Structure 1
Amino acid sequence: MMQEGEQRAWLQREAMEWENEGIINDEQLNAILSRYDMPTNSRDETTTKKDGTSQSIQVMSILGALLVGVGAILFVAANWKELPTFAKLLLLFGTTYSTYFAGWNLKYRKGTHPKLGEALLFLASLLIGATIFLNAQIFNVNADAHWLLLVWLIAILPYGYAFNSSGILVLKILVFALWTVFYVGQNSELFVGSFGIFMFYLLLGINLYGLGQIHLKFESFSHFRELYQGSGLFFILISYFYFSLETPFRHTLTRIEPLTGMLQALFILFMLISVIMIVQSALLCKKHENSKYELIELILAFAGLFAIWMLTIFKDSLAVSHVQDYGLNQLEPGTATLLFILFNLMFFILTIGSILIGYYRSILSFVNIGMGFFMIGVLHLYFTTLYRSLPRSLAFIVGGIILLLFGWYMEKKRRSIINDIKEGEHA
């Protein structure tokens, strides 16, 4: 009798054969693969090989589009003052929408060069941002204003789905993350603001991961599930890495003022969306039992965030000491160390969880993200604990040996997991 892994590999091969024979279409194939938590991009990779093309073509096309975009922006910037306002507007809007039309034409209308068309659509979405910021400059609007990033986000919001473009969706996520940095940073002190930024990033990660889960409900867009989940996982782990440091709690927590105004409203909105995402993921577990581990990952991430939020509210109840040199309050070393241990434990649980989920669902990006953050976490622990307790020369020698052995082991383990995933896909 076939094991579960063999059954999943068999079903994956059969479903791809059904699609090739015309029994089911592309959307139905993605729906079948998503139902059993299998990667939905396997069909695209197989089709690419059959067509004699390669993923490198798309990468080269996107890189070429980026270079063209940067070159065009630099050329316009060099001659910007000499152009009249009407010519500037015509050049900006004309170039942007001409690029959109060319991309749509190549990818959909003619369909002769879909990879190049995809790259041009991505380039046009970048040009929208350049158009917005240069128009702000033309009309003497503060180009540093965070709301210009929000306008850019709104402008490209529908295009990721309209053009079925992963690149545009990634750009949308990056623009929103950048807006968060500017908005939170402009409304708080720089160092204290970093604490707030990573609180928002943790919420963003939870929401993105939950949004990826919800894509299981939509056959047409189920192949975007991994993109949202991978992005969400990155923001969750980078946020927990920040909170696993001792500095945010020892020096920063006592300086944070309660959120007020729009920041408080935005934070509460993010929290409510996170709760909705977790509830939706729990409901999906009834239909997709394999997603229960991802629900656990989400709940753990949210629980840690809630604990951090409570710390910011009740920070005055924690043991603090007064630093005479700077006139600042900070947590007692014992309290800060306890928080350091707890959030390091949470960080490593989530990184290991992402590796296991990636291995179980055959998603290499999850494995790579989890492995990467796991190694960063181990390096951080070495330089904040063992390094301090050894003489400097001995610490470097021991650290070098540990890093070499650990790097060798982690790379060996990563390759083993990737090979197991590939063997499961092609068994």
Structure 2
Amino acid sequence: MKESEFVRRLRQEVEHWHDEGLVDASLAERLLARYDGQDGPARSKIAVTLSFLGALLIGIGMIVFVASNWDVIPGAAKLGGLLAAMVLSYWGGFRLRYVGESYHGTGNALLFLGVLLYGANLFLVAQAMHINAEAPSLLVLWAIGVLPLGWLLESRAMLTLGLLLLTLALGWEAAFWCEGPGGFSAAFLLWGVLLVALGRLVPRLTGLAEGLGGFVLLTVLTVLADFGLSPHNYPEAEWAFLPPGGQLRLVLLGAVTLATTLALLFRRGQEPLERAEGLGLLALTLLAGGLLVGGGLDEALLRTVFNILLLLVTLAVLWLGYERREPGWVQLALGFFALEVLSRYVELLWARLPMEVFFLSAGVVLLGGGVALERVRRTLLKKLAERE
């Protein structure tokens, strides 16, 4: 384990110890300062958050200023100003992080501001060269500029931004060539599986890719459980209605996802838990193909299947989070479980109860469910801490 990864893991553990009352604030600071590579107290989480928030607001402010004065500012001044701001952000972030007394959090925030301005420059250059600014390829180019830098600097913020940009680009692109919800859902099921598998295979993406992938998977299954494939009125397979370019993209995405899932499944030293997770991801990959080749199926039957599948996947995420000691997965599963219970409640009783009775009973259910869910969450997190 690299030293930076060790420090990151140590910081998370010390925060858990402090929250559980095992160590006080001063001892937590001394523990972190011992391994943090600094002479002073460990970096404050609040200070880092404020630095990133400041960088985000500066980036938004500069972009809004240029957009508000688009017709007033000459084109060369717009491009030159944003380029100069980007270079200064990179230079200042590098100096603060690596030169002299280290201000790690502020330096990272300025580097993050640099990648935001890089994206603004991309769209500005595209507009100046009369390139369609609504092209998803611009988001891909932005991600290509963000992910390598985030990888080299081990910046979780940059890696998260890059993965989010690719996710948005996929949705943007799929909206152009998917004729129905089957193709769109298949694309995002494959993408969610790919993210989870990459997070398990690549240590530097651990926690980021799996979290986003799990959220994508549960979101797609929730939408399918709530709405099914109602616009999917094709008597044949939806695959036949995709344009050739869309078919090629789905084949490539499916091939990459399948190869990554098989690499995870047959990785050396597999434990039974990891093998079960790999089999589950493989099943979801095959399900994505089924959404494309199936046609003319009964809508009620499909929604029932999707509801059962959502429940199984939610329980699997909850179980994996507990067994792997990952509180984020536990809370993700509980959140989607609560959302699914609320959806089924509304679906079953909205038309069967008077409006005032429905809202009163819904309020009681939400309050009681919130208390019960919080108790379950605390119990599971406490057990996770004890096992740790």
1:166: which partner in 2?
A: 156
Deviation at 1:227, TM superposition (A): 1.1
For 1:68 and 1:405, how far apart are their aligned partners in 2?
A: 42
For 1:135 and 1:281, how far apart are their aligned partners in 2?
A: 40
1:157: which partner in 2?
A: 147
1:14: which partner in 2?
A: none
Do the aligned residues in 2 keep the contact of 1:201 with 1:236 (CA within 8 Å)?
A: yes
| Correspondence list, 1:188-337, <5 A | 188=178, 192=180, 194-215=181-202, 222-245=203-226, 247-254=227-234, 256=238, 258-284=241-267, 286-311=269-294, 315-316=295-296, 318=297, 335-337=298-300
Please give the root-mean-square deviation of Cα atoms over the aligned residues, in Å: 2.6
Q: Residues 254, 388 of structure 1: CA spacing in aligned structure 2 closer, same or farther, 3 A cutoff?
A: farther
For 2:68 and 2:349, how far apart are their aligned partners in 1?
A: 53
2:177 aligned with 1:187, yes or no? yes
Secondary structure of 2:281's counterpart equals helix
Do the aligned residues in 1 keep the contact of 2:97 with 2:103 (CA within 8 Å)?
A: yes
Secondary structure of 1:82's counterpart equals coil
Higher relative contact order (CA 8 A, sep 6+): 1
User: Which amino acid in the other structure matches residue 98 of structure 1?
Assistant: L
Q: Residues 164, 140 of structure 1: CA spacing in aligned structure 2 closer, same or farther, 3 A cutoff?
A: same
User: Which amino acid in the other structure matches residue 55 of structure 1?
Assistant: K
Secondary structure of 2:144's counterpart equals helix
Do the aligned residues in 2 keep the contact of 1:355 with 1:366 (CA within 8 Å)?
A: yes
Do the aligned residues in 2 keep the contact of 1:195 with 1:248 (CA within 8 Å)?
A: no
Do the aligned residues in 1 keep the contact of 2:182 with 2:291 (CA within 8 Å)?
A: no
Secondary structure of 1:226's counterpart equals coil
1:42: which partner in 2?
A: 12
- Give me the TM-score of the superposition, normalised by structure 1: 0.78
1:57: which partner in 2?
A: 47
User: Which amino acid in the other structure matches residue 262 of structure 1?
Assistant: G
User: Which amino acid in the other structure matches residue 203 of structure 1?
Assistant: L
For 1:274 and 1:363, how far apart are their aligned partners in 2?
A: 24
Aligned length, in residue pairs: 365
For 2:268 and 2:311, how far apart are their aligned partners in 1?
A: 24
1:368: which partner in 2?
A: 331
1:219: which partner in 2?
A: none
For 2:348 and 2:292, how far apart are their aligned partners in 1?
A: 27
| Correspondence list, 1:50-89, <5 A | 50=33, 51-89=41-79
Greater CA drift, 301-310 or 196-205: 301-310
Do the aligned residues in 2 keep the contact of 1:157 with 1:172 (CA within 8 Å)?
A: yes
For 2:178 and 2:372, how far apart are their aligned partners in 1?
A: 42
For 1:381 and 1:155, how far apart are their aligned partners in 2?
A: 43
Do the aligned residues in 2 keep the contact of 1:244 with 1:344 (CA within 8 Å)?
A: yes
Which consecutive residues of structure 1, in runs of 5 or more, have no partner in the other structure?
Answer: 1-23, 34-38, 216-221, 319-334
Residues 17-54 of structure 1 deviation map (CA, whole Å, 9 limit, x = unaligned): xxxxxxx8626859xx9xxxxx6863685678543433
Q: Residues 25, 232 of structure 1: CA spacing in aligned structure 2 closer, same or farther, 3 A cutoff?
A: closer
Q: Residues 84, 394 of structure 1: CA spacing in aligned structure 2 closer, same or farther, 3 A cutoff?
A: closer
Deviation at 1:57, TM superposition (A): 2.0
Q: Residues 410, 241 of structure 1: CA spacing in aligned structure 2 closer, same or farther, 3 A cutoff?
A: same
Do the aligned residues in 1 keep the contact of 2:228 with 2:303 (CA within 8 Å)?
A: no
Greater CA drift, 277-286 or 339-348: 277-286
| Correspondence list, 1:373-412, <5 A | 373-412=336-375
Which consecutive residues of structure 2, in runs of 5 or more, have no partner in the other structure?
Answer: 16-27, 34-40
